[in-house]
Structure 1
Amino acid sequence: MRKLTATFAGLFFAGLLGAQSSHATPVEPEVDIRALASSPQWLTTKVYIEGEPQNDVKAKYPGVVGISMWEPQRNRYEFFYTDTGRSKHPDGGGGYFMVTGDKQTHILVPDLGPHRTIVRRLEKLDNTEFTYSREVPRDMVATNPPVRIYVVHAPYSGPIKTQMSN
């Protein structure tokens, strides 16, 4: 009995000492959707094509550029033009959003407009950056082959103040 107790005690202490090192793969920090609420407005700062992060192509993808507002409490979003602050809601730029349980997919369900659902891959989301990617036709020309674009946003603190329609 004494030998068994000593064996268990030895295994217990070995486990405590060995617990500090791990063979597990480090995990990336999880996306926290509440980070969208850390700024009342987000501004598109860059758009680039996969594999070409040094080339900003915002001018070729104006439909994804703007100021956005997110309300994680209600899962509502709305987009606005950067020059006037006018809402894009009537054209599909407002509605509901959700993030899948694995926190890798960001889905938009517009209230109005020609699009029904827009599925985007969530690349980064924290208090300083919100980046998603999605496949679209190159230069947003329907007959062009698809490319994956990355759309980068940062908290906006400029002069244009926006307010959600709903």
Structure 2
Amino acid sequence: MRRVTIVFTGLLLAGVLNASDSFAKQVKTEPDVEALASSPQWLTTKVYIEGEPDTDVKANYPGVVGLSMWDPKRNRYEFFYNDTGLSKHANGGGGYFLVTGDKKTHILVPDIGPNRTIVRRLEKLDNSEFTYSREVPRDMVTTNPPVRIYVVHAPYKGPMKTVMSDQ
């Protein structure tokens, strides 16, 4: 019995002292949905088409341009016009959002409006940038072929203050 206790204790100590490297490996940093809460407002700073990152085409995609607010605690979002600060909620610009477990997909579920869900690929999310991409018709004209647009946001530091609806 004593021999079994000594062997068991030895194996236990060997296991503790030679812990697997897998527990100590650094994990690649992934986008964190809490970064959305690092700024009360985010402003669209650039829109570009895949393969053309130096050409800003914001003027061709006004529907994705503006101020946005994100509440990760309630999983709520709301969009605002950046020239007036008025809410886009009544036109489908507010509702629930989620980021998938693999942190690669950002999904919007509007409260009202013509769209049921909007699925976007999460490209970058940290305290200084929020970028997503999605396929849309070129220049948002339904008869045009689809292109992948990248929509870049930065924390808004301007004078306009927006408030989320109580939906």
Q: How does 1:60-139 map to 2 (within 5 A)?
A: 60-139=60-139
The answer to whether structure 1 residue 48 and structure 2 residue 44 are counterparts is no
Q: How far apart, CA to CA, are the structure 2 residues paired with 1:105 and 1:141?
A: 24
Q: Cα deviations across residues 18-73 of structure 1 (Å, max 9, x unaligned)? A: x6xxxx9x864111100000000000000000010000000000000000000000
Identity of aligned residues (%): 78
How far does residue 114 in structure 1 lie from its aligned partner after superposition?
Answer: 1.1
Q: Which ranges in structure 2 are unaligned for 5 or more consecutive residues?
A: 1-10
For residue 154 of structure 2, give the secondary structure of its aligned residue in structure 1.
Answer: strand
How far does residue 130 in structure 1 lie from its aligned partner after superposition?
Answer: 0.2
The answer to whether structure 1 residue 33 and structure 2 residue 33 are counterparts is yes
Q: How far apart, CA to CA, are the structure 2 residues paired with 1:43 and 1:126?
A: 14
Q: How far apart, CA to CA, are the structure 1 residues paired with 2:53 and 2:30?
A: 23
Q: How far apart, CA to CA, are the structure 1 residues paired with 2:30 and 2:130?
A: 13
Q: How far apart, CA to CA, are the structure 1 residues paired with 2:73 and 2:53?
A: 32
The answer to whether structure 1 residue 150 and structure 2 residue 150 are counterparts is yes
Q: Which ranges in structure 1 are unaligned for 5 or more consecutive residues?
A: 1-7
* Residue 58 (structure 1) aligns with: 58
User: Segments of 4+ in structure 1 off by > 3 A?
Assistant: none
Q: How far apart, CA to CA, are the structure 2 residues paired with 1:91 and 1:118?
A: 14
TM-score by length of 1: 0.85
One-letter amino acid of the structure 2 residue matched with residue 138 of structure 1: R
Q: How far apart, CA to CA, are the structure 1 residues paired with 2:44 and 2:62?
A: 10
How far does residue 159 in structure 1 lie from its aligned partner after superposition?
Answer: 1.0
One-letter amino acid of the structure 1 residue matched with residue 32 of structure 2: D
Q: Cα deviations across residues 132-156 of structure 1 (Å, max 9, x unaligned)? A: 0000000000000000000000000
* Residue 3 (structure 1) aligns with: none
